[in-house]
Amino acid sequence: MPDNLGRIEFILHGAREVLTAEAVHFERQILALEEAVVDNAGLAFDLAKTLVESACKTILTDRGHTYGGNWELPKLLKETLNRLRLVPEGCENDAEVSESLRRTVGGLQTTIQGLCELRNTQGFASHGKDAYSTQLDIVQARLAARAADAVVNFLFRAHHSYSSTGLSQRLVYRELNEFNEWIDEQNPPTRIFSLEYRPSEVLFNVDHAAYRDLLVSYKQEDQFNIEQESANKTTEE
């Protein structure tokens, strides 16, 4: 996180809550939108739309799904929502919950469509305009930014709370501590002159495919051991 939050007059709290240290490009978009709301309201509409697009594309990539290069934001959002589980296990068959969720999703889609229309008509960078045209100001820019902030926070929280199955999702090194420690215990540190690196970190960055394959084997063996232990307990009983 940057240390200059005190100097920013407008903060996207929702987006910052789900921002990871590795997502440098996403952080720059957040900063740009925060600054635009105050300094360039027209640009805020463009950036609000861009922020939600980035969130959708990131989540789809994390979950191993492709997206079209010409997809507009409403389609990106729809596909992202289709790939997410939006309610806790046990609520999926509740008709009332499902209907409430449907209305909520419909509201999100309406919000996104509104952002797209504002971007097309009021965006600073989207289209050329009459040099003397009057644009919306900070009041409307805050609305667009807050809407985008809420959508981004919701999407990422659903994405992280209800993880995708298997290993199609993007691997994040710092989230695999147990596996990394297992690698490090069996291999000596990598040394380059006076510098020393963890074997797991070297493998992750130098041969990502090998790291993933090893992780698959590790998880399969771990699952096998769990099943064997459970079978042994059943036999003893």
Answer whether residue 4 shows pLDDT above 70: no
When comparing pLDDT for 225 and 131, which is higher? 225
Of 134, 161, 188, the last residue of a domain is 161
Boundary-marking domain end, from 127, 161, 195: 161
Q: Is 167 part of any domain?
A: no
Mean per-residue pLDDT for 10-19? 92
Quickly tell me which residue has 């997809």 as its tokens.
71
Residues 119-156 have pLDDT tens digits of 777 766 656 665 545 566 788 889 889 999 999 999 99
The residue count of the chain comes to: 237
Co-location of 63 and 38 in the same domain: yes
Residue 168 has pLDDT above 60, yes or no: no
Q: Is 211 among the domain residues? A: yes
Residue 1 has a pLDDT of: 45
Tell me the percentage of the chain whose pLDDT exceeds 90. Answer: 36
Q: What is the pLDDT of residues 81-125, one digit of tens each?
A: 888 888 777 776 777 887 787 788 778 878 878 877 877 777 666
Highest mean pLDDT among 6-15, 56-65, 115-124: 56-65
Chosen domain end from 139, 161, 183: 161
**Structural domain total, the chain:** 2
The pTM (predicted TM-score) of the whole model is 0.68
Structural contact between residues 191 and 175, judged by C-beta atoms closer than 8 angstroms: no
What does the pLDDT average to over 3-31?
81
Whether residues 147 and 177 share a domain: the answer is no
The answer to the question of residue 117 being in a domain is yes
Q: How many angstroms separate the Cα of 145 from the Cα of each of 64, 108, 110, 180?
A: 28, 14, 15, 39
pLDDT over threshold 80, residue 222: no
Could you tell me if 125 and 191 lie in one domain? no
Residue 186 has pLDDT above 90, yes or no: yes
* Residue with more model confidence, 67 or 22: 67
With beta carbons less than 8 A apart as the criterion, state whether 77 and 104 touch. no
| Any domain includes 230 | yes
% residues pLDDT > 70 (the chain):
81
Domain identity same for 148 and 43:
yes
Greater pLDDT, 118 or 33: 33
Residues 198, 180: contact at Cβ < 8 Å?
yes
Look up the domain containing 94 and give its range. 5-161
